[in-house]
Structure 1
Amino acid sequence: MKLKSTTVNAVSIIEIPKITDEEGRGNLSVIEKDCVPFDIKRVYYLYDVPSDAYRGGHAHKALFQFLIPLSGSFDVILKDGNNTRKVSLNKPNKGLLIVPGIWRELENFSSGAVCLVLASDVYDEEDYVRNYNEFQLLKS
């Protein structure tokens, strides 16, 4: 099975609506309806990731993901088989939409960073490509 011919340019930052309290009591962001272009079927989060560790290291065949830095910051390295793109996430009202067919690695987690992930489907091991050489073959 070939992977979709998506490129790193298909990955996008989406601004999450932010409501600022006029009395200075903080902000509120809401994700509903059309904020992400898929129905959310799974939610998980990464935390207590050491700054020298990385997460991800895989691609998905069909799954869409929306990554939100709830606290702190981290970098997302995106690869499409030909190009590489690095996106730094550090604002809880901006998320990263990752489309199928993109290799991703998360690294450089700040102390206390929390990454919330909204996914378009439930966990399915068959949807993962965990070997980068295999990923490159499936993209060609």
Structure 2
Amino acid sequence: MAHLGLVALLVREYDEAIDFYVGGLGFELVEDTARPDGSRWVVVRPPGARETALLLARPSSAEQRARVGDQTGGRVGLFLYTEDFARDHARMVAAGVRFLEEPRHEAYGSVAVFADLYGNRWDLLQPRSTE
């Protein structure tokens, strides 16, 4: 069976992105390898994640640079699932992550929208238990 391995996310600079995703969101740095063309292969993922991770990619053209922070047209494009919404929300707020709304409780679970350091919108989401 196939699975989604990496999602590329355009970032201005590698080190500031690593600081945000590792320091702010609590992700782990999986790989940071220099490439011959001067770019780096930088992969981060939430702790415990094994199948899907983010490839932090520095733009290589003006067109790509224009898309940093707006890869999904201003809508939520990434969804960070948690088993403990209150804990992770509090940790992220303490780390300086900018939430765009107060937490809310929907039929599908607890959720709050936050922005990464470039303005991409994410949901922090604890799905409602179906058990």
Q: Point out the structure with the larger strand share.
A: 1
TM-score (norm 1): 0.26
Structure with bigger RCO (C-alpha 8 Å, 6+ apart): 1
Q: Point out the structure with the larger helix share.
A: 2
